Structure 1
Amino acid sequence: MQSFDDFVLRAAGCPPYGYQRRLAEEGLPDVLRVPTGAGKTMAAVLPWLYRRRHHPDPTVRSGTPRRLVFVLPQRALVEQTVRVIGRWLDALNEPEIGRYVLMGGVDRDDRAWKMHPEQDAIFVGTQDMILSRLLMRGYAEPRANWPMSFGLLHADTQFVFDEVQLMGPALPTSLQLHGLRDKIQTAMPCRSMWMSATLDVPRLGEVAPDLDPNLGVVELSEDDRTGPLRVRLAATRRLERIEIDGKRYARELSSRIVSEHRPATRTLVVLNTVDRATEVFDAVTKLAPAADLVLLHSRYRPPDRAARVAAAIAVPGAAGTIVISTQVLEAGMDITSELMVTELAPWSSIVQRAGRCNRDGHASDARILWTPPPSGLKQHLPYQAEQLEHARGVLADLEGEDVTSVRMQEAARDLDPPVHPVLRRCDLIDLFDTTPDLDGNDIDVSPWIRDSDDRTAFFAWRAIDAMDETAPYPARDELCPAPLGDAVRELVTKRQARTFDHRDGRWRRAISADVRPGVVIVLDAASGGYLPDRGVSPKSTDPVPTLPPAEPRPVEAVETDPLSQVTGPWVALSVHLADVEREVARLLRELDPSGITLEQRTAAELAGRYHDLGKAHPTFDTSLREAAAEDPIGIGPWAKSPGRGALRHKPRFFRHELVSALLLTDLDTGLLDGVAEPDLVGHLVLAHHGKVRLSVRARPGEQHTRVLGVEDGDMTLDLTLPDGRTLPARSLSLEPTRMGADGLTARALRLRDRPDLGPFRLAFLEAVVRSADWIASASYETETCCE
């Protein structure tokens, strides 16, 4: 086995710092408190990878979580972080490590990691995307996938939260989730590391009552301060206030920027709002400086944002580069400048911004020019007024001083931290039910994720006239975040807009009430609203270039069964049941979840065997045949048919997994005789599409004798089981769908609340069964659309 120093030298071309070596030897701590620019990204990724894959002690390798989830506060940083990590993995020749971006939408990456939960993998995403999935309300993610993300991410994962002082309510939420995982217990251990130069560790227990306050902290040692890091730690920048006339703010500030910029250098300008950043960028553009100009903020589609980031970090040419940005570059972006111009911001943000000025310590006369935002009633937004006043006082004390990052951190004064909503245990338990209320609404998790001014919806642009009801869900590259303001709501109400109805499985016209945190809305590309060089532009009517959807399959909804259609031949139901049972057993062997008992593993395997019993129902059999590209050879019943036609059932809302669960609750079938965990088998079968889980109720318009397309007294078809037994046709009873101690809902609630299961372990088992179903289904494809 190679040493960690050799490992890092291969990956990054330089030896590790002392504290990074310590993390490789001792493991990632709860808190990493080191200055900005000290290599925190490398400290999170390479020690984890070394301990997971290359440590000489096999117990260390097996004891290191297989997934690393790197959580960033800003969207603009995701692509750069992914590229850096990718270069390390390529240099180390680690092709088996999965590399995934959690950014919403439907694409093959999102499907691939769920199909391979046994894979060692690195994930990068924002606090919005990751925490919403940890709360089972994944932003820009199809509803049916919420339980799967929740179940897998809360097992065998090392979380890393970067620059947590910028995360607002996401910090206490991440702390609470860590504490609740420890108390409720998970299928496999999870760990968390919070990184910040300014984190007040004793206060963490005050904002997270379920967190064990005894946290391990790693900081720089004296050897670090006198070793190779000393150049960066000693880097200074002079702080100077500049006065800008608020009435001519953009014009005066742009003139100052251009006059202060030096050729062959990079100037960073950081403004607190997208509107002001765009206004100042336009004003600088009118001055036509020789320098390259870059506008950078969070409201771009990923490909456009990646292009802006690449231009921002590129080596400046002879005339230099001027980057005008919002706070998106405060964390995670390895970029430096000789001149920074910034608006007044909370002190933690000022410290982070300063870390992008003379970051490497090579500039001889680095300066930070700061100015208050233009005066007005809401000039402090998106921050609190007292935060800006606090920072103004600290900056006044340091005026004209050449300061290091450490000096700036030490200069902070006491300021009461903002109060954020606390995620309680009962909140997490309530979130386990993913069924919307009767009006189609869900529990709003956004207060636990971002401050109200930062909450966003996600927009895609398509030719709406050519978009039918079953069009594919937007891919990640199509999605652009936008704040929930009046201008964005007008995009929806005054132009053609569509949103996906997860109950009906169809796109419908969007209305103002649909604009809520995390929702996905498709706008008409011909009507504008977005410019590739400006991002979201509500006033623009220029046509928007469209991007192709990455996933041709229709999205999972209550009325759809996309996995029941394949590009290969007809698949007999008995064959598919045997394949899924085998895949569940294989996944559990490879994952070896320490928190799952032998009886619970057996229940999951049996769920694989019985999950699709309900396809032996005349409604499903008829739908499958009508949508097929060719007639079957044989009598069935069938699990899959060839073709890509939409599988629509008559009667509507039919769910075959409900039929499967009803058969298992029928004691006369004898399917679960002698099974230690019959209710667990039944729940995993019912939940294996993520559509029917805790709440089992009729859809509006269904007669009282029908629930989800299943009629009381319906007859099933004869079926041969994988073990050779025959399950004769039989009459179905809807009694288990009704309220009562023996009902499906009551059984599921008892499982959720059991100390030896609970929400984390139960969702993990749901995810394993579903992964096995996906893997088996992909094996029948003659094309690679499922991979």
Structure 2
Amino acid sequence: MTVYQTFDDFFRAGTGKDPYCYQRELALMPELPEALIVPTGAGKTLAVALAWLWRRRFEPHPERRNNTPRRLVYCLPMRTLVSQTAESIRDCLRALGILSAGDGADANGVSVHILMGGDADDSWMRTPERDVVLVGTQDMLLSRALNRGYGVSRFRWPPLFGLLSNDCLWVFDEIQLMGSGLYTSAQLDAFRSSHGIYGKTPSLWMSATAEPDWLQTINRRAPEPSAVMRLGAKDAGGPLEKRLNARKVLRKAGTAPRFRRKADLTRYAATVAGSVLKHHVHGDLTLVVCNTVERALAVYREVIKAGPEDEVLLIHSRFRPAERLGLESQLQGDRDRMKGGRIVISTQVVEAGVDLSSRTLITEIAPWSSLVQRWGRNNRAGEYAESDILWFDLSDDDCLPYSAEELARSRVLLEKLEGDSVSPSKIPALPEPYEPRFAFRHRDFLELFDTTPDITGTDIDVSRFVRGQDDPDVGVFWRNWSDTNPPGDMAAPGMHEICSVPVGELQRFMRGSSSRQEVWKWDHISGQWERAGLRDIYPGQVFLLKASLGGYSTTEGWCPDSVDPVTDLRDETKPAPDHWSQGTYDNAGAWVSLREHSDNVVSELQEILDGLGDILPRDVVESLRVAARWHDLGKAHCVFQNALVGPLPEPERAKRSTETWAKKPRTKRRTTYSRRHFRHELASALAVLHHLGDSLIAYLVASHHGRVRGVIRSIATETVPGNGKRYALGVWDGDPPLPETDLGGLVVPPTVLSLECMELGMGASGHISWIDRVADLLLRRDLGPFRLAYLESLLIAADWAASSKEGGDKPNADDHP
């Protein structure tokens, strides 16, 4: 690895440019600030990314390198900038010669992974000891940090939660757009401090318009002035001067009518379209920003109707990723590919740091912080001698998604600035209060640790903490099928085909014709698609619509009045959605004995631990090693062994029955167990309690497939024994003992399994319940929820690595990535 004498040399090698003064200061200061407040276009992204990389890899002082987290988590409130940010960081890593493909082959490189709707790359979980950069949307990242990851199997929630809570630098950009998610991010930072983590996991919040007081919560103080970084005098008079003083002349374009009837919207859209066509300069970019998708769509239709010479694009959040990626690629395209010019009509999705520079900007009135961000998309680098910004006023009745008070504060300043330039150096400050719509409390956090669904198969809704909008979203996707009900083996939806739709709009869609009431949801317990009612439509869920019913346009996005069939974008290589009894733990490239698999997992765990250095205490390391040795002992259970060797013809069955197997060669036919919902890891955990009595080891063993964690309980549809015996997940009291089993470095004597721990309170044997054991682990000062989930993730990663080398199933929607 190249050694750089100074940060400036390093920055030039990565970007080809000299750093601004504040970028240098950020990298070299003893501790990173809590807040970075600098104008739009000042290079915040590279400032933070390269500061982290310098401190992690190239800083001369070993102590500072070791104290820098191995994961950089870059969180954006909107998806528009995600790909651009990720590619910018990749370009720097590539120039520095340390970009890794992320396939596990390069242990010394740094990989970059995207997490957003349509492109959620969680493959980095397999190598928790590696340095990685994660760039994603607020929805994807915060939901994972809350142990309820959007767009991912519920059985992967815990390891994602653990890895994103330990040994990470969280960076939140454009925080003025985060809504309730900002409060949640600050609360999570406070809880990590109070509960404890492994390594360090600081947070850095960034914006051009934020107030440090926004970061104060019921459990967290606002940053001290010394922990807030702003531009200094050297930057104001240095290379940034042209950007800071770019001339942008502000003028009022008109006032919208009150939108009482559809004709009012049509008339307003025609007025805005007329202003667009009047002020658009051929060969340049005109950007129009509306506060709602409905008005943006109406303006787009009016502009298209006029038939302008230049290309017209509509960008908003109600497109499927498959189409939206193409639109964003066009949006980010350079001016040489603009075919003479472009008119872009958008919503707030362009506010989040999109690197656009328009000659003309037309916007509706908005809160001051939003207006400043929109103005940052005009004459961004000072490339025009003068540019135009036009604004339309709105009535208080049409203020949504904002408040009338927010718009009133902006209106006062807008009228004072009429005809003046609103360059970054001249924009007056307007301190704005921040009041989250939903406050994430400590009680909420603790309730989210357990990922077991309730008896109906549903979960706690975290959308109010992730974003907290008035009409939160669900996901919908479209498919074709011939039978009355969707087939249970139909491929699971890929994120590329899921369209975000407000809850209220989907409910209105369902109230239409009887055929449109056919909205379907997946049941994780039964493993079947079931018809959804209006009450089933709540945030964070994904629903299936029949493609022939319409409801979507490739040029306009979610379009409930469209009856044209929607293109089915299914990926036939994907398996069916996951369900409770599904798993890939029994397939490999060949027969693998339990002894061999245990040795392999212990070996893979040691490789991970070596890469992590001394981040974990010695006693915890030893508990992990023991858990790795014992994790699959439950596969010695007769139900599991009979499922593997029972279907074999004689004499092969007799031959195979002399060994205890962990995996069998992969076949097209999925393994069937004599007891529905059988879980070998529960049997393993009960064996650990019987022989070792150690709660931590038992928990890690139980949780390594994500299905047995906070509680042990039976499922309504599982096989029931007679005589009133206790039963859960295919394990019964009174089962034949597990035979003497060779686990590689250990031979375990016969084991009688008892489900006494699933009862509440103290059992007849004097041992506490499973629920009490987990509660004790969560309350231990040396463990707690964040550390416990992190330890889960390490054992899971070791098991995945071993299974992969044994020729196990490829990544899919289940518990193996």
Determine if contact 1:472/1:555 at 8 Å carries over to the other structure.
yes
- Is the counterpart of residue 71 in structure 1 residue 66 in structure 2? no
- Listed as ranges, the gaps of 5+ residues in structure 2 are 101-108, 258-263, 763-767
CA distance, structure 2, for counterparts of residue 253 and residue 627 of structure 1:
71
The one-letter code of the counterpart of 2:8 is: D
Q: Which residue is 1:683 aligned to?
A: 699
Say whether 1:578 aligns with 2:561: no
Structure-2 residue corresponding to 1:502 = 524
Task: Give the 5 Å matches for 1:8-23.
Answer: 8-23=11-26
CA, structure 1 residues 313+548, in 2 after alignment: closer, same or farther (shift >3 Å)?
same
Match of 1:314 in 2: 333
SS at match of 1:453: coil
CA–CA distance in 2 between the matches of 1:462 and 1:644?
Answer: 25
Instruction: Compute the displacement of 1:559 (Å).
Output: 0.8
Deviates more, 1:756-765 or 1:529-538: 529-538
* Post-superposition CA distance 1:206-255 (Å, at most 9, x none): x3433474361211111111110000001121111112553201111111
Shift of the 691–175 alpha-carbon distance from structure 1 to 2, 3 Å rule, reads same
Q: Residue 406 of structure 1 aligns to a residue in which SS?
A: coil
> Are the aligned partners of 2:183 and 2:436 in contact in 1 as well (CA < 8 Å)?
no
**SS state of the match for residue 656, structure 2?**
coil
The question of whether the paired residues in 1 share the 8 Å contact of 2:290 and 2:363 is answered with yes
Give, in whole Å, the separation in 2 of the partners of 1:280 and 1:728: 75
Instruction: Please give the residue correspondences for 1:392-407 in structure 2 after superposition, counting only pairs within 5 Å.
Output: 392-407=411-426
Question: Is the 2:214–2:222 contact (alpha carbons within 8 Å) kept by the matching residues of 1?
Answer: no
1:218-237 matches, within 5 Å, as: 218-237=229-248
Given that 2:489 and 2:575 are in contact with CA atoms closer than 8 Å, whether structure 1 keeps it comes out as no
Question: What is the one-letter code of the residue matched to 2:500?
Answer: P
For residue 692 of structure 1, report the CA deviation from its aligned partner.
Answer: 1.2
1:653 partner SS: coil
8 Å CA contact 1:488–1:538 kept in 2: the answer is: no
Deviations 1:685-734 (A, max 9, x none): 11111111011111225545222222211124425323465435544222
Partner of 2:184: 173
Confirm or deny that 1:33 pairs with 2:37. yes
Could you tell me which of 97, 100, 112 is aligned with 2:110?
A: 97
Quote the RMSD (CA, aligned, Å). 2.5
TM-fit CA distance, 1:495: 5.2
**How many pairs were matched up?**
770
Within a 5 Å distance, the mapping from 1:298-337 to structure 2 comes to 298-316=317-335, 317=338, 319-337=340-358
Unaligned runs of 5+ residues in structure 1 are none
Shift of 1:663: 1.3
Q: Distance in 2 between matches of 1:629 and 1:399?
A: 86
Greater shift in the superposed pair: 635-644 or 764-773: 635-644
How much does 1:782 deviate?
Answer: 7.5
Superposition deviation, residue 268 in structure 1: 0.4
Q: Deviations over 1:634-682 (max 9, x none)?
A: 323221222243334332221111111111122xxx4x28xxxx11000
Q: Could you give the per-residue CA deviations for residues 726-760 of structure 1, whole angstroms, max 9, x where no partner exists?
A: 43554422212111241212111110111110000
Q: Would the alpha carbon gap of residues 160 and 607 (structure 1) be closer, same or farther in structure 2, given more than 3 Å must change? A: same
- Shift in Å at residue 160 of structure 1? 0.5
Q: 1:660 aligns to what?
A: 684
- In the other structure, the counterpart of 1:744 is 770
Matches within 5 A, 1:113-132: 113-132=124-143
Distance 1:365 1:627, change over 3 A: farther
Q: Select the residue among 705, 710, 719 that pairs with 1:694.
A: 710
Shift of residue 463 of structure 1?
Answer: 2.8
User: Distance in 2 between the 1:629 and 1:150 partners?
Assistant: 44
Residue from 435, 438, 459 that aligns with 1:421 = 438
Alpha-carbon distance between aligned partners in 1 of 2:201 and 2:506, rounded to the nearest angstrom: 41
Task: Specify the SS of the correspondent of 1:680.
Answer: helix
Q: Say whether the 8 Å CA contact 1:67–1:158 is kept in structure 2.
A: yes
**Judging changes above 3 Å, is the alpha-carbon distance between structure 1 residues 349 and 723 closer, same or farther for their aligned structure 2 residues?**
same
Q: Could you report, residue by residue, the CA deviation over 1:436-469 in whole angstroms, capped at 9, with x for unpaired residues?
A: 2223332222222213325211223333448632
- CA distance in structure 2 between the aligned counterparts of 1:629 and 1:532, rounded to whole angstroms: 54
Alignment equivalent of 2:57, drawn from 48, 53, 56: 53
How big is each residue's C-alpha offset from its partner over 1:46-74, in whole Å with a ceiling of 9 and x where there is no partner? 22122222233333322211111111111
1:264-314 Cα shifts (integer Å, max 9, x gaps): 110000001111111111110110101111111112222321211221232
Q: Could you tell me how far apart the structure 1 residues matched to 2:776 and 2:396 are? A: 55
2:219 alignment partner, one of 188, 209, 226? 209
Output the CA distance in 2 between the equivalents of 1:697 and 1:153.
28
Runs of 4+ in 1 over 6 A off after TM superposition: 626-632
Partner SS, residue 236 of structure 2: helix
Match of 1:639 in 2: 662
Q: What is the letter of the counterpart of residue 447 of structure 1?
A: R
**How is 1:289-688 mapped onto 2 (pairs within 5 angstroms)?**
289-316=308-335, 317=338, 319-373=340-394, 375=395, 377=397, 379-408=398-427, 410-412=428-430, 414-453=431-470, 455-465=472-482, 468-487=487-506, 490=509, 494=516, 496-549=518-571, 552-553=574-575, 555-566=577-588, 568-592=589-613, 594=615, 596-625=616-645, 634-635=656-657, 636-641=659-664, 642-666=666-690, 670=691, 672=692, 678-688=694-704
Q: Distance in 1 between matches of 2:44 and 2:195?
A: 30
Q: Which one of 250, 253, 272 corresponds to residue 272 of structure 2?
A: 253
Q: 1:784 to 1:747 in 2, by over 3 A?
A: closer
Per the alignment, do residues 542 and 593 of structure 1 end up closer, same or farther by CA in structure 2, a change over 3 Å counting?
farther
Equivalent of residue 270 in structure 1, options 289, 298, 308:
289
Question: SS in structure 2 opposite 1:53?
Answer: helix
CA deviations on 1:325-357 (whole Å, 9 max, x unpaired) are 000010121111111000111111001000111
Question: What secondary structure sits across from 2:184 in the alignment?
Answer: helix
Asked whether the 8 Å contact 1:184–1:758 carries over to 2, the reply is: yes
Distance 2:753 2:117 in 1: 39
Contact 1:390 1:415 in 2 (8 A): no
Distance 1:613 1:80, change over 3 A: same
1:495–1:420 distance in 2 versus 1, CA, 3 Å = closer
Matched, 1:757 2:783: yes
Change (3 A) 1:318 1:494: closer
Check 1:376–1:61 CA distance in 2 against 1; reply closer, same or farther (3 A cut). Answer: closer
TM-score normalized by the length of structure 2: 0.89
**Following the alignment from structure 1 to structure 2, what is the Cα–Cα distance between the partners of residues 754 and 253?**
61
Indicate whether 1:133 and 2:123 are aligned.
no
Q: In the aligned structure 2, how far is the partner of 1:149 from the partner of 1:719?
A: 35
Match in the other structure for 2:168: 157
1:76-125 C-alpha deviation (Å, 9 max, x unpaired): 22222222223223333322222212225797x32x21111111111111
Secondary structure in structure 2 of the residue aligned to 1:405: coil
Q: Partner amino acid for 2:219? A: P
Distance 1:628 1:209, change over 3 A: farther
Q: State the distance in 2 between where 1:296 and 1:723 align.
A: 58
Structure 1 residue matching 2:686: 3-state secondary structure: helix
> Does the 8 Å contact 2:491/2:571 carry over to 1?
yes
User: In 2, distance between residues paired with 1:99 and 1:454?
Assistant: 32
Give the counterpart letter for 2:146 in structure 1. L
- Structure 1 residue 169: Cα displacement: 1.0
Give, in angstroms, the shift of residue 397 of structure 1. 1.4
| Cα deviation, residue 541, structure 1 | 2.6
